[in-house]
């Protein structure tokens, strides 16, 4: 993807501050500082931004790490792709649509947008820079994540999607590449270039990425939030197993496979997963959207339940003795509570019996007194 930038001749080393001549080096590469040996990026200039490194690529464009020279802060800049046969007006509409989508969401699990603009007819979106990498880096080479970590990331993504849904957005391209991590490891959703407000008819060629696309997107049917749930399910499946549920060399066959076959059994691919986690993924990957979660609250509740079950299992595995002691203590507390309740019931019963005995005795005394009174009256009448 070519775009209009200019070379930079001299930059300052970020470590020692000395000026370094980079004019003879390849743009977007890095060299060693001749004075301190530190790493010096060879940037290119695009307006007020210095692009230093390509960090991502999506369906709508390429993302670069950059320096905003006006605000003097590191940022991420998404350079939008030219749509074949489309002019500048279409690119403006695309950049504005994504910017509006991002601006409509104010949520800690969604990447924040700083600015949108164009440099020599090349449209861009300037966003916050996240330093924790992406989920696609974590699963590179077929690596499966620890179960708890995978659920934590999926839960972050689900909360971001719920925030998008609350303003009427369907993302339509949920995948590991679009889940970045901040310095604390919190997942952030980005790339709303395919997002649309409300339920909309599919374009002729459909949207999404073959490995994560929903069956209804393959059929070019109207999409709603349940399509994003399916794509997130594919992402979670890959985080847990190290592979997407449907894979292959031919993108078309990958898409069609989910129309013909059920998702693979996750527990067979990755034995030892918590049953609640397995059922969660099964629920998310049901072919018929009507059989998936009815709303994001249901999805998040099931995710939290699975995460809690995994955390409890981890605690038990780490300290089975302590867990047993806690269980015994709970049983003893329950037994003590039952004993106290029984003793209270017995004391109350004793009080009732005493009260009844006293009442009977008082009645008998009253009856005797009454009889004596009658006897005295009869005696004196004689």
Catalytic residue positions, numbered? 173
Cα 21 from Cα 98, distance rounded (Å): 37
Is residue 144 a contact partner of residue 275, using CB atoms and an 8 Å limit? Answer: no
Q: Which one, of 147, 229, 158, lies nearest residue 187 by Cα?
A: 158
What b/e string do you get for 336-364 counting C-beta neighbours within 10 Å, with b at 16 or more? eeeeeeeeeeeeeeeeeeeeeeeeeeeee
Q: Using only the alpha carbons of the chain, give its radius of gyration.
A: 35
The C-alpha atoms of residue 217 and residue 113 are separated, in whole angstroms, by: 28
H helix or E strand, kind and range, residue 43: none
**123 membership: H or E segment, kind and range:** strand 122-128
| CA separation for the pair 121, 124 (Å, rounded) | 10
What single DSSP character describes residue 7?
Answer: E
C-alpha distance from residue 69 to each of 113, 121, 277 (Å): 17, 20, 46
DSSP class of residue 204 equals T
């Amino acid at each position: 993807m070519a775009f209009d930038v200019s070379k930079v001749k001299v930059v300052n080393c970020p470590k020692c501050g000395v000026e370094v001549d980079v004019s003879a080096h390849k743009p977007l590469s890095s060299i060693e500082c001749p004075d301190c040996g530190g790493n010096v990026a060879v940037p290119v200039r695009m307006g007020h931004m210095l692009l230093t490194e390509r960090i991502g690529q999506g369906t709508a464009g390429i993302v670069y790490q950059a320096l905003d020279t006006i605000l003097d802060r590191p940022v991420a800049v998404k350079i939008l792709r030219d749509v074949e046969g489309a002019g500048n007006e279409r690119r403006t509409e695309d950049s504005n649509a994504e910017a509006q989508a991002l601006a409509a969401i104010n949520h800690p699990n969604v990447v924040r947008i700083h600015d949108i603009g164009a440099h020599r007819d090349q449209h861009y979106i300037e966003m916050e820079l996240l330093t924790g990498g992406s989920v696609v880096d974590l699963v590179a080479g077929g690596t499966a994540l620890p179960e708890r970590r995978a659920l934590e990331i999926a839960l972050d993504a689900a909360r971001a999607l719920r925030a998008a849904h609350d303003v009427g957005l369907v993302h339509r391209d949920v995948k590991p590449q679009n889940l970045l991590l901040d310095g604390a490891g919190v997942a952030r959703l980005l790339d709303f270039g395919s997002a649309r407000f409300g339920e909309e008819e599919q374009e002729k060629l459909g949207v999404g990425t073959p490995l994560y696309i929903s069956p209804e997107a393959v059929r070019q049917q109207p999409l709603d939030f349940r399509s994003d749930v399916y794509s997130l399910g594919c992402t979670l499946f890959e985080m847990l197993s190290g592979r997407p549920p449907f894979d292959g060399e031919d993108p078309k066959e990958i898409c069609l496979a989910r129309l013909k076959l059920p998702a693979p059994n996750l527990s067979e691919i990755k034995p030892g997963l918590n049953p609640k986690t397995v059922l969660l993924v099964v629920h998310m990957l049901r072919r018929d959207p009507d059989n998936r979660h009815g709303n994001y609250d249901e999805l998040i509740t099931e995710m939290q339940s699975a995460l809690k079950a995994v955390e409890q299992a981890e605690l038990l595995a780490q300290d089975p003795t302590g867990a047993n002691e806690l269980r015994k203590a709970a049983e003893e507390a329950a037994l003590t509570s039952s004993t106290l309740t029984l003793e209270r019931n017995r004391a109350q019963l004793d009080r009732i019996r005493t009260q009844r005995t006293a009442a009977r005795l008082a009645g008998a005394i009253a009856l005797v007194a009454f009889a004596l009174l009658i006897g005295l009256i009869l005696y004196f009448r004689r």
